[in-house]
Structure 1
Amino acid sequence: MATLNHALTKAVEWKLLRKALREELTAIRKYQEPDGRLRYLSGEAEAERLLQACEDWLRPIVLTAIHTGMRKGELLGLTWDCVDMTH
């Protein structure tokens, strides 16, 4: 958001954007991150418990996430041509 705000400020400064329009754009409510902390697995034992709790079909996905750090969207976007079981 800081980068976008700076770009809008520069656009007004360089007379590429009217100040009133910039003010309208920056009046848009910004998304607020929820309070709390990000959750990470604390060790091998916790990862193993998570895998044991998974349905059979879900284990390979969870295992891939644990070992690669991939996010949900990245995991869901994988196709078999992306998989190399030998390396």
Structure 2
Amino acid sequence: MEVIYDFYLVLFDSHVHLPPCHLREDGYVIPSVLPSKVRHAIKSVKNRTAPGPDRIRPEHLKNLPTTLVNTLARLFTRYLSECKVPSQWNTFP
């Protein structure tokens, strides 16, 4: 019984960092985009594909330092919570 007591004592006393949630006016919760998900998405892009209008190749993205991946995650979270996409991302004339 003491083992169970100790387990739950530690469990409920722990301080686990959770990413913040963003609440829209209609009550819908926008989850944060995690850097691990950004890194996973970047890694899943095939190498040696043609760059976009920004001329950035997948090989460049795959070598981004952690600080830039974290920044991308924060930006994606902000854009989702604001329901906006930067005009510079529009590749159509």
TM-score range, shorter chain: under 0.3
Larger-Rg structure: 1
**Structure with larger RCO (C-alpha < 8 A, sep 6+):** 2
Point out the structure with the larger strand share.
Answer: 2
With structure 1 as the length reference, what TM-score do the two structures score?
0.25
With structure 2 as the length reference, what TM-score do the two structures score?
0.24
